[in-house]
Amino acid sequence: MLRQLLELYGKRHNSRLIMALDVTTNMYEAVAIENLLNSVSKDLLGVKIGVPTILSYGLHTISKWIDSVNDVLWIVDLKLADIGYVARQSIEQVYEAGFDAVIMHGFIGFEDGLVDAVEYASDLGISPILVAAMSHRGGMEYLNRVSADMVMRSLEIGLEGYVLPATYPILIKMYRGIVGDRVIIAPGVGAQGARPRVAVEHGADAEIVGRRIYMADDPISEVKRLHGVLTWR
Q: In whole angstroms, what is the distance from residue 31 CA to residue 220 CA?
A: 15
Confidence (pTM): 0.94
DSSP 200: H
Q: In whole angstroms, what is the distance from residue 197 CA to residue 166 CA?
A: 9
Residue 127 has, within 13 A of its CA and on its CB side, a CA count of 19
Q: Residue 85 is which amino acid?
A: Y
Element (H, E) at 14: none
Q: Name the CATH topology of 2-218.
A: TIM Barrel (3.20.20)
Nearest to 196 by CA among 19, 23, 29: 19
Q: What is the pLDDT of residues 91-124, one digit of tens each?
A: 999 999 999 999 998 777 777 679 999 999 999 9
Higher pLDDT, 71 or 152: 71
Could you tell me the residue ranges of all domains in the chain? 2-218
Q: 135 pLDDT band (50/70/90 cuts)?
A: low
Distance of alpha carbon 89 from the chain centroid: 20
pLDDT tops 70 at residue 139: no
Distance of alpha carbon 150 from the chain centroid: 19
Any idea which residues carry the catalytic annotation? 79
